[in-house]
């Protein structure tokens, strides 16, 4: 989730927001393995499906992306913007064996914990209060 994206979009306009979304997707694709699936999940949210990755490996991926986003200068014709990114990480089978809906819920809870923790960070579902199976 791109931190404060709505504020940036409202301040600088949708063309700047589009540049940010496009360049963030490029950063994600460059960090991913060939077998990984990257997509926009809605608004300013992206999803990365990392087949065979442990929660530890997924957290390393998310941290690598977070660092690259924070270091990147987003430019369009009128403005230069820096962004930060918060991530929630959840993994099969540690968090939600054979239950994709629960996996997404746990990842979202971890994302919320990252936001509550000050943004620009990665949080793991296994380390949040709601990480026990439902």
Catalytic residues: 44
DSSP three-state, residue 80: strand
Q: Using only the alpha carbons of the chain, give its radius of gyration.
A: 15
Sequence length of the chain is 134
Q: Encode 34-67: b = buried (16+ Cβ within 10 Å), e = exposed.
A: eebebeeeeebebebebeebebeebbebbeebbe
d(CA 92, CA 19) in angstroms, rounded, equals: 33
């Amino acid at each position: 989730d791109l931190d404060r994206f709505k504020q940036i979009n409202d301040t600088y306009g949708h063309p700047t927001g589009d540049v940010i979304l496009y360049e963030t997707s490029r950063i994600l694709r460059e960090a991913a393995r060939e077998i990984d699936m990257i997509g926009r999940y809605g608004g300013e949210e992206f999803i990365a499906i990392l087949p065979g990755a442990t929660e530890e490996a997924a957290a390393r991926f998310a941290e690598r992306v977070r660092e690259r986003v924070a270091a990147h200068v987003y430019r369009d014709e009128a403005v230069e913007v820096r962004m930060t990114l918060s991530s929630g990480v959840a993994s099969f089978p540690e968090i939600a064996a054979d239950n994709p809906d629960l996996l997404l819920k746990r990842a979202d809870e971890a994302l919320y914990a990252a936001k509550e923790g000050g943004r620009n960070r990665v949080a793991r579902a296994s380390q949040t209060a709601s990480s026990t199976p439902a």
